Amino acid sequence: MMLSVHDLRVSFAREHGDPVEVVHGISLDLAKGETLGIVGESGSGKSVLSLATMGLLPRTARATGRILLDGEDILTMSERQLCRVRGRKIGMIFQEPMTALNPSMRVGAQIAEGLRLAQGLSRRDARIEALRLLEMVKIPRAAERIDSFPHEMSGGQRQRIGIAIALALKPELLIADEPTTALDVTVQAEVLDILDELVAELGIALILISHDLGVIARIADRTLVMYRGDEMEQGETEQVLRRPTHAYTRKLLAAMPGRVRASLELSDG
């Protein structure tokens, strides 16, 4: 397996009192070319799990267990080692691209920055690669938009820029933390299709985090359902959606609008 998480527990220190544990013994495996959906309501521990995988937990947090990336444990790495992993082996797409992107930099320069710093590309070569990435994520008129500022682009286009930045260094694993939350339904579908195509074309692994089972159902091969830091159930997405074993998953399914359930061909049983 490319990524294996074993008994991951994350706790946060408090000024007064004992630390509070927010992720309780999560385990999962992910192979290249596979998409894992992590679903749950706000506060379920989804984002904390992703930050632990990136080695981006705050100083007040303590993680135990193992997070093995190609056999190397993320939790035992120094900050210098983690800096070599981030971007190169693991890329991350954040929930709100307007805050993730630098508003004062043109989007092409933001994509090229990592290429120049990590790969030593010249300004010209980095710009050529940035343009290729813009075309890969289907930015219309990419040659014109490469010099746009983030505020000059739509929400869906900004999210595609975030995907391009995450892919720039050709990571093996891509983590998308609720990448479609602020997008309308049509643009949401376009972004999910792009992610699905990239997994197939590049052979990378994808962790897709969402509170929406409809989003997860669209492209995830396997699904992990979380609630208050615990695993409720985990399995093949079709099995989880059609034959959920936990009451919480059944409640999530029941909360989906009828038209969404119908589009996924889910029964009411």
What pLDDT is attached to residue 124? 95
CATH of the domain at 82: 3.40.50.300
Q: Print the domain residue range for 81.
A: 3-100+171-263
- As a whole number, the mean pLDDT across the chain is 91
266 — pLDDT class (breaks 50, 70, 90): low
Residue 254 lies in a domain: yes
Amino acid letter, 105: M
**264: exposed, middle or buried (Cβ count in 10 Å: 0-12, 13-18, 19+):** middle
83-128: per-residue pLDDT in tens? 999 989 999 998 777 788 999 999 999 999 999 998 999 999 999 9
Lowest mean pLDDT among 34-43, 169-178, 187-196: 187-196
Does the pLDDT value for residue 60 go beyond 80?
yes
Give the Cα separation of 55 and 136 in Å (integer).
28
For the entire predicted model, the pTM comes to 0.90
Asked if 236 contacts 245 with a C-beta cutoff of 8 angstroms, the reply is no
Number of domains present in the structure of the chain: 1
Residue 105 lies in a domain: no
Residue 129 lies in a domain: no
If residue 44 lies in a helix (H) or strand (E), which one and from where to where?
none
More confident call, 147 vs 187: 147
Give the strand pairing for 61-69 and 72-73. Answer: antiparallel
Residue 110 lies in a domain: no
Residue 234 lies in a domain: yes
Gyration radius of the chain's alpha carbons: 19
Chain centre distance of CA 178 = 7
Residue 148 lies in a domain: no
207-254: per-residue pLDDT in tens? 999 988 888 988 999 999 999 999 999 999 999 998 999 999 999 888
Residue 175 lies in a domain: yes
Give the Cα separation of 21 and 11 in Å (integer).
4
What pLDDT is attached to residue 135? 95
Residue 137 lies in a domain: no
